[in-house]
Amino acid sequence: MNTKNIETDCLIIGAGPVGLFSVFELGLLDIKCNVIDILDKPGGQCAELYPDKPIYDIPGIPEISGDGLVHALLRQIKPFNPSFHLSRIVTELKKNDQNLWEVKTDLNETFITKVIVIAAGGGSFQPKKPPIADIDKYEDLLGNGNRFGVNLSYAILDQPKGLAEAFIIGEDFIGSNDVCLILGIFKNKDDGEEKLKCEILLPFFGLTMKLGPVADWGLNLNENLIEVDTEKFETSEKGIFAIGDINTYPGKLKLILCGFHEAALMSQKAHNYIFPDKKITFQYTTSSTSLRKKLGVI
């Protein structure tokens, strides 16, 4: 596979609400962002876990749904035209001989960047797998979807009795390169066991969140969260920031509004790395002509 290099001022890992809002805060400071997410759409937990549920504690917005907030954020960051790179996961990190960070993805791209903002929430959403030994080697054959429900009603070609209550409790495989027959052993609602032959198994077991490869990047961690200071939300590596649910510090609250605050302070320090010779002049969007021009409102 060909490798592709993408140069950017700032790479944001995670397109959840906090990653999206940091595009806005960085954009006001003329910092162009590339955003990566493992999911196929922006929005993080709001879009994936509770798109239709109301949120009541976004300042100034009495009520908004998860999806509604994501759409509002996408509209808000439109003037800064971020580049989204969806459906890929970051894998490796290294510093190159020009003192820039290089981040690889599983699609063989390399992002070369001055600053990294990790806004990866609880980590990457990953499918919960049935508790079956060696299931990984059958994964493609089993249909490795991103979406998961709670029962197995789509999973089985011939339904066992009492399927709504059925749980998979074991499995035997008869496999070859292109044919895989599964003998699913299910527990039905009468507590009996049934064996079924299936061609495809789609386990709808829900999602779990894992920090994934970022855990191996040598950053200081505390119970799988990234330690940061509360002045600039920088990690133990200079030029790498962590904001939103992924970070930890004394008094941390996993709330969207806290992530937004962190994004604003992080951006000030990120500017330092990207434009070391420029000073930031503090300005309000209400009254600054230059900020309003950037936002395209004048």
Q: Could you list the residues that contact ligand FAD (CB under 6 A)?
A: 13-19, 36-39, 44-46, 49-50, 55, 57, 89-90, 119-125, 212, 214, 244-245, 254-257, 259
By beta-carbon proximity to ligand FAD, the closer residue of 202 and 256 is 256
Contact status, residue 167 vs residue 156, Cβ threshold 8 Å: no
- The pair of structure tokens assigned to 100 is 């820039």
Shortest distance, position 291 Cβ to ligand FAD, whole Å: 24
| Residue closest to 223 by CA, chosen among 197, 249, 198 | 249
Say if residue 272 is exposed, middle or buried (CB neighbours under 10 Å; 0-12, 13-18, 19+). Answer: middle
Contact status, residue 65 vs residue 58, Cβ threshold 8 Å: no
By beta-carbon proximity to ligand FAD, the closer residue of 65 and 288 is 65
Shortest distance, position 15 Cβ to ligand FAD, whole Å: 5
By beta-carbon proximity to ligand FAD, the closer residue of 28 and 246 is 246
Shortest distance, position 69 Cβ to ligand FAD, whole Å: 9
Question: CA 67 to CA 49: how far, in whole Å?
Answer: 10
Segment holding 271, helix H or strand E? helix 256-274
Question: CA 147 to CA 272: how far, in whole Å?
Answer: 41
Residue of this chain nearest to ligand FAD (CB atom): 121
By beta-carbon proximity to ligand FAD, the closer residue of 124 and 267 is 124
Strands (E) located in the chain: 4-13, 33-36, 54-55, 64-65, 83-85, 90-95, 101-105, 109-118, 124-127, 167-175, 180-187, 193-198, 207-210, 221-222, 225-227, 240-242, 247-248
Shortest distance, position 255 Cβ to ligand FAD, whole Å: 4
Instruction: Name residues whose C-beta falls within 8 Å of residue 281's C-beta, 6 or more positions apart in sequence.
Output: none
Shortest distance, position 9 Cβ to ligand FAD, whole Å: 19
Shortest distance, position 161 Cβ to ligand FAD, whole Å: 34
Question: CA 268 to CA 266: how far, in whole Å?
Answer: 6
Shortest distance, position 144 Cβ to ligand FAD, whole Å: 16
By beta-carbon proximity to ligand FAD, the closer residue of 17 and 130 is 17
By beta-carbon proximity to ligand FAD, the closer residue of 90 and 132 is 90
By beta-carbon proximity to ligand FAD, the closer residue of 186 and 233 is 233
Characterise 112 by phi-psi region: left (phi > 0), alpha (psi -120 to 50), beta (else).
Answer: beta
By beta-carbon proximity to ligand FAD, the closer residue of 43 and 160 is 43
Residue with tokens 């004048």: 298
Shortest distance, position 39 Cβ to ligand FAD, whole Å: 4
